[in-house]
Amino acid sequence: MTTTTPATATDLDLARVLTLVERTLVQRLGEALKAEGTTIEEWRVLSFLGDGAGHPMTEVAEAALLTAPTLTKIVDRMVSLNLVLRRVDDADRRRVLVFASERGSEALTRWTAAVEREQEHIVTAVGAEETALLRTLLQRASRRLG
């Protein structure tokens, strides 16, 4: 006869487990990017702007998972470092578009290489098959819950 141990609230708390994993991943990527002199937020902004097209701040905020006020501060800093440029949208003069500068594009290459190196370490630790499965399951859950 087998006995089972009752599940605790901690065992059942999916949000807690997801948060722990997310924090660990963000911390590891953040440390890799800090070594390059940047933050995960700046990398996310430049990654989105890396397509060469200008984007309105609302799109950038959504893609970078930032609030509008936080994005404004980050973009201000990035403008001062000549990583991004702001331009008035020719199609709608009320909108401001943000573009990666040439210096920003060069930085993005370095930053992305650092992120990819750290992601390789993460995949090694978790396992390639598990990582792929986890990504698939989380994407599916995001679509269904969103």
Say how many Å lie between the first and final Cα of the chain, rounded: 43
CB 108 within 8 A of CB 39: no
pLDDT at 2 over 80: no
Locate the domains of the chain by residue range.
Answer: 37-145
pLDDT digits (tens, 9 = 90+) for 101-134: 999 999 999 999 999 999 999 999 999 999 999 9
28: tokens are 């590891």
Q: Which fold has domain 37-145?
A: Arc Repressor Mutant, subunit A (1.10.10)
What pLDDT, in 10s, does the model give residues 62-102?
999 999 999 999 999 999 999 999 999 888 888 999 999 99
pLDDT the model gives residue 66? 97
**Contact yes or no for 113/92 (Cβ under 8 A):** no
